[in-house]
A and B are shown apart, each in its own frame.
Chain A
Amino acid sequence: MKAATGKATYSASPTDQELLRAFLEYIPDCIYFKDRDSRFVRISRALADRFQLKDPDEAIGKMDSDMFSLEHAQQALADEQEIIRTGKPIIAVEERETWMDGRETWVSTTKVPLRNAQGDIIGTMGISRDVTAHRAAQEELQQYKVHLEELVEARTSELVRAKEQLEQSNKDLEKFAYVASHDLQEPLRMVASYTQLIARRYKGRLDAEAGEFIGYAVDGANRMQQLIQDLLAYSRLSRKGPCFEECDSKAACENAVGNLQQAIAESGATVVIGALPRVMADTTQLTQLFQNLIGNAIKYRSERAPNIQISSAWKGDHWVFSVADNGIGIESKYFDRIFEMFQRLHARARYSGTGIGLAICRTIAERHGGRIWVESQPGEGSTFFFTIPQLRRSQ
């Protein structure tokens, strides 16, 4: 079958008049035809509704100035006269309409010249779509965007400020650490040394009470010094991250034992170091960890001579180290508390200490990606465990 060319040849083909009527009646956009003076010739049903007219024909002969604010009407007139003069259309321009009652709406509008069969411009025709809601949504979106940007900016400057404060507080901490290591200890040394010098020089000329008082003064100064030293060690830990290297944990443990030689000799302790692995660790910190644990094992000894066993076990992806003693032990309700700062379980007169040692141990273990805990039977002894993750050679 041969395809029909040119005009449709359906039997019930609608006339142009019918098409135009349907077009103007049912398209929901605002459509108009205007003469050369910009008077309405014909408008669509949708535009009549917008003008609040019952019948589109009521618009015939009216102008924009009968509907819109003078300002908007004048702008529309000028645009249309320009189209008539030049023949150039206005295509899909978003414009604001201001109505006589002061309302504002937005339309996307297209205006083209209206020509007769000879091609002469006899007016204009246009089609507009209301984009007020769309535009409001866009504006809201834009406001959100601006608001979001403001929020991000505020948050960023908060973070910058927090970082500056942190840097300042780190600097202050460093300063404090220095003051503590020097300025705080100097007066302390004066008190301790001169009290002792009095005791030394006036030996035999002071009574037993004076000796006791001097003893308390010196003991106080010594304790204060230990406290300062421990606090310093702790603040050094928080200031400087660990410096990881491949290290022989057995050598670190032996160093710790060496540093405790005097206490070991005085207490008659036996220290047995089992097989210990090579690990990725900060050697100084690992030594300190062993030293604090072994030192505690000696300090909290029972009547028996201390027997301390240090060993290790491989658990698939980490090492578990243990320091076991036969000391006084710890009740299970204190298992967590002992690792907190300044938590002491015993009267100072029985066991000296600042309550910082195990807090340091915990910080060191955590800094190495491990953890620390204790198992104990009061009267039998305690075993402290800590873990260090697998050796990572690539680091």
Chain B
Amino acid sequence: MSSKPIEILLVEDNPGDARLTIEAFKEGRVTNSLTVINDGADALAYLRREGKYSAAKQPDLVLLDLNLPRMDGREVLAEVKSDERLRDIPVIVLTTSSAPEDVKRAYGNHANCYITKPVDLDQFLRVVQSIESFWLSLVKLPAQG
């Protein structure tokens, strides 16, 4: 396995949720570098390496919340998936919402998967570990430029 750490971008405005995800990844096995951005517009700027993010590394995986300030996760997803340079990056919608409308719309915008955050901590840890083992270990992704 490559020693190069896996780059993860976590787009999440709730610090409690962000911390919980960080903690969950800490318990994982894959060496990773996790960046937290807490609004949708900044997340898009980060991915496009615009402005203060000109030196940002292209993430291997994006974890995206839906309800975000400035530009919400639905719009971010639509932008990413219609951008030729970004659309190959797997985007996992990780949100509290279990509304069928949100699920449908996310897949309509080509989200790679949609996960509702479980209330129970053990289940949440399991979810994050599943993300890690599936997307970061099992799945073969296109080589990054």
Interface residues of A (CB under 8 A from B): 177-178, 181-183, 185-186, 188-190, 192-194, 196-197, 200, 218, 221-222, 225, 229, 232, 236
Partner of A185, one of B96, B121, B124: B96
A190 & B17 in contact (Cβ 8 Å cutoff): yes
Interface members, chain B 54-73 (any A CB < 8 Å): 66-67
Decide if B124 touches A193 in the complex (CB within 8 Å).
yes
Q: Does residue B122 face the partner (Cβ distance < 8 Å to A)? A: yes
Q: Are B120 and A182 in contact (CB under 8 A)?
A: no
Given A186-B14, A197-B20, do A192 and B98 touch, yes or no (CB 8 Å)? no
Interchain CA distance A295-B16 in the complex, whole Å: 34
Residue of B nearest to A201 (CB): B23
Is the beta-carbon distance between B99 and A192 smaller than 8 angstroms?
Answer: no
| CA A183 to CA B97, docked complex, whole Å | 8
Chief secondary structure at chain A's binding surface: helix
CB–CB B99/A189 < 8 A: no
Residues of A within 8 A of B117 (CB): 189
Cα–Cα distance between A185 and B98 once the two chains are bound (Å) = 10
Contact residues in B for A189 (Cβ distance below 8 Å): 17, 96, 117-119, 124
- The answer to whether A193 and B97 touch across the interface, beta carbons within 8 angstroms, is no
Select which of B17, B99, B120 is within 8 A of A181 by beta carbon: B99
Tell whether, in the assembled complex, residue B99 and residue A177 are in contact, meaning their CB atoms are under 8 Å apart.
yes
Residue contact A192 to B23, C-beta cutoff 8 Å: no
Q: Which residue of B lies closest to A221 (CB)?
A: B119
Q: Is the CB of B119 within 8 A of A192?
A: yes
Instruction: Say whether A190 contacts B67, CB under 8 Å.
Output: no
CB neighbours of B67 from chain A (8 A): 182-183
Separation in Å of the B16 CB from the closest CB of chain A? 5
Closest B residue, CB atoms, query A191: B119
**Would you give the 0/1 interface string for B1-43, flagging 1 where the beta carbon is closer than 8 Å to chain A?**
0000000000000101100100100000000000000000000
Q: Is the CB of A192 within 8 A of B95?
A: no
A47 vs chain B, min Cβ distance (A): 84
A221–B121 Cα gap in the complex (Å)?
Answer: 11
**Complex contact A197–B121 (CB within 8 A):** yes
- Pick the contact of A225 from B97, B99, B119 — CB < 8 Å? B119
- Measured CB to CB, the closest approach of chain B to A214, in angstroms, equals 11
A182 with B96: CB separation less than 8 A? yes
Residues of the A chain whose Cβ atoms lie less than 8 Å from the Cβ of B23:
197
With A190-B16, A194-B16, A197-B20 as known contacts, state yes or no: A222 contacts B119, CB within 8 Å. Answer: yes
Nearest residue, chain A, Cβ from B27:
A200
Most buried by B among A185, A189, A200, A218: A189
In the complex where A192-B120, A193-B124, A222-B119 touch, is A181 in contact with B16 (Cβ < 8 A)? Answer: no
A193's nearest neighbour on chain B, judged by CB, is: B121
Task: State whether B119 touches A185 (Cβ < 8 A).
Answer: yes
- Least CB distance from A132 to B in Å reads 70
